[in-house]
Amino acid sequence: MIIDCALYRDGRRQQEAALTLDTAAALHQDGSEGFAWLGTFEPAPDELERIRDSFGLHELAVEDVQTFHLRPKMEQYDHGVELVILRTARYDDEREEVDFGEISVFIAPTFVITVRQGVASELHTARTNLEARPDLLAEGSPAVLWAILDQVIKSYGPVVAELERDIEQVESTVFAGEAAPTERIYFLRREVTNFYRAVHPLLTVLTTIERTYREGPLAPYLHDVHDYLRLISDEVAAQRDLLATILEANMAVISVEQTRLGIRQGQTIERLTVLATVFLPLTFVTGFFGQNFPWLVEHLDGFGRFVVLGIGGLVLPLVVLWVLLRRDRGRLDRST
């Protein structure tokens, strides 16, 4: 749908009310002074076709606008028309995720057409702020491009801050010696990577734009936006590297915890083995003397034979076990 459409001349908006698409197209075709700014939000395919026919846009450019992109880019078409695609970002506190949108900007000397998709793509603030700067608005359609870039790139700052907060929480957990949920770390790394794809390629786009308008009043403003974008890109790259380090540290913590658990399990098994070994001779004795064989029972007719065969059969395995355990413990002490 069309959100707003206005004609700008000499740094001023010419009508308070929004122009219709046909009126804006007629002004463009008549070669009137100034430029028209047409703002749309998720237009239907038939609306895009009307806009293409009215302003003579290339069919490939219109087709490109209908596709959601992972990276910003800039394309040049006939008749001085340029297409700049930007990715917007907004941090959702409730879901602790980064939501992405997109703004496609057709820019020519006589018109600017913005196609917004998804979240965080509102441009009313950029339009209002630019209308309050007639000195910049008088520079024509490039001033609109600067206003959009300024708003989109400045909105990256809060996203970086929120991601930094989440990373610090995970980092404090891991480096305190506790294992953090690995899934949470992978999720944060994915969010930061997607954000990096939205930010870093925009550096090339801004370099091209700054080179194009290096002469004129807009040059320092574009340079300021470019510097801020470099700072954001460096911050996001550092966050991505930090998450890789945190993930490795978390895996090390998990490995240590598993080692400790294995040691505790080994100690428990050792105690159970000793206990089972103690009861093994008793089980043997009771089983041995409990056999219902007359020839065996008839020979145990005295206390002496009972001490030798019964008590001796119990003491001898215990002595052998004690000797073996002492020998194994001595070997372990010498190895450590």
Whole-model pTM: value is 0.75
Over residues 151-172, mean pLDDT: 92
- What would the pLDDT profile of 123-139 be if each residue is shown by its tens digit? 999 999 999 999 999 99
Whole-angstrom Cα distance, residue 230 to residue 220? 15
- What would the pLDDT profile of 1-19 be if each residue is shown by its tens digit? 888 899 999 889 988 888 8
Angle between helices 312-335 and 219-289 (to 10 degrees): 160
Whole-angstrom Cα distance, residue 86 to residue 76? 15
pLDDT at residue 172 greater than cutoff 90:
no
CA distances from 215 to 32, 72, 79, 221, 262 (A): 25, 24, 21, 12, 69
Whole-angstrom Cα distance, residue 260 to residue 255? 9
- What would the pLDDT profile of 38-94 be if each residue is shown by its tens digit? 999 998 889 999 999 888 898 888 988 888 877 899 999 988 899 999 999 999 888
Scanning the structure block, which residue is given the tokens 């598993």? 258
> In degrees to the nearest 10, what's the CA dihedral of 296, 300, 306, 309?
-30
Which domains are seen in the chain, by residue range? 2-254 (3.30.460.20)
Query: If residue 48 lies in a helix (H) or strand (E), which one and from where to where?
Result: helix 45-55
Whole-angstrom Cα distance, residue 166 to residue 185? 10
| Cβ proximity of 174 and 250 under 8 Å | yes
Angle between helices 141-154 and 219-289 (to 10 degrees): 30
pLDDT value of residue 199: 94
pLDDT value of residue 197: 92
pLDDT at residue 313 greater than cutoff 70:
no
Over residues 286-304, mean pLDDT: 61
